[in-house]
A and B are shown apart, each in its own frame.
Chain A
Amino acid sequence: MSGIVFKVEGMKCGGCKSKIEGALKNMDSGIETLVNLEDKTVKVTFEDLSPLEIKKTIEEAGFNVTGMNAE
């Protein structure tokens, strides 16, 4: 298990939140996502995935990833 916090631009509301959560769940059902609209962060806990793939998924959902931090 590893956790990464992504800085994400463009999230505005609960809709954006569930969009990101849904997209990541689609990649792997074991993924855990914690979206914080206030801090503009998405915390992702996952196994067997590369951080780059997760970043791409968030971007494909229509958001900009401007930073990341492994915990």
Chain B
Amino acid sequence: MDFNLTEEHRMVQKMVRDFTHKEVIPTIGEWDRKQEMAPHILPRMGELGILGINIPVRYGGQGFDYITLGLVCEELEYADSTLRVVMSVHMGLNSMGLLQWGTEDQKQRFLVPQAKGEKYGAFGLTEPGAGSDVANLTSTAVKDGRDYILNGEKMWISLATKAHNVLVVARTDFSLEKKSNGLTAFMVETDRDGVTVGDIHGKLGVRAGSTGWVAMQDVRIPEENRIGEEGEGFKIAMSCLDNGRYTVGAGATGLIRACLDASVKYANEREAFGRPIGNFQLIKQKIGIMKRDYDMARMLILRAGWMKNQGLRNTMETSMAKWFATDASFKAASEAIQVHGAYGFSDEYPVERFLRNSKGAVIYEGSSEVHTLLQADYALGYRKDRPLRCELPAYDPDFWQDEV
């Protein structure tokens, strides 16, 4: 067993850290207050190659492994959750779905521009009436010659107003007993007739990001945009979540570290009763727990990333990492505010933003309740992962790095 990161890993970490410290952290508080995404964020992430970090060079990416993706997400969310959310939907839920399930033609048409950062991807699963209960979603796709006609509304969609390509899951078969077998995945370009998008305002967190809705009215989508077979939509969505959850967990790990760093700094500076508050055992306890949780979250994420590199099925391990890391980040943020006393309650310090941002991640990509049930079902033997028609390819450095 080797716990070392490679030199490449460390250099990427440093590069992304330099980027966030120079171009994100100094102004993120203002954008959060304005409830707007800073206009330079997505283009810069594209230009720098972050939006294609773990996609093979032959598909326009940078050719790094899945562990690198996790490390990048950790660094991004250390600065602000909205940057990691970009990676969750654009990379984890959309681009990696294309890498896993897309035809060569779809990879050329969608994955290449996304990996190059020329186009942004999003993921449209949730609807106003169906979140955790994916199998009951009601958007429809009806075959019309060689096309499909899509109708329905997707809600709570990250990057709704920024994305060019949304991976949408809709119902194609209404007769089936088992509802999850009637779903199909499509790549919907947001500039098609009948697609309208908008942002939701008044969110608790991820305020410097875009979260919105994507409505489809008689949107004509050619067959070539169908991802996978008819009826494979549920499986595709779940396998995309294996990758999205990985980015969420990795990001939450970075958020715990941000809480820890802010708390340590404050506990060394702030004095009460004649001593720095770091001297008090009850403050030490909070900091000790943050440090423990950071390490645990990181180990769980690295294990999931390693399994992805090896090409091993990691649904269970990724769920575990996402569940633990996001719950722990919510606790860490709350405790970080506590350490800061009244100052933590104001936006003069970043910890209140950390708390607001951390709450989303225990809801999306499988709420903590859903992950609790998943883990119990694995333990009880009620759940087993069956092989998929298309598995996420193991990381093969030669294939990833060859410039074809």
Please indicate whether A and B come from the same complex rather than being unrelated chains.
no
Q: Which residues of B contact A (CB under 8 A)?
A: none
Q: Which residues of A contact B (CB under 8 A)?
A: none
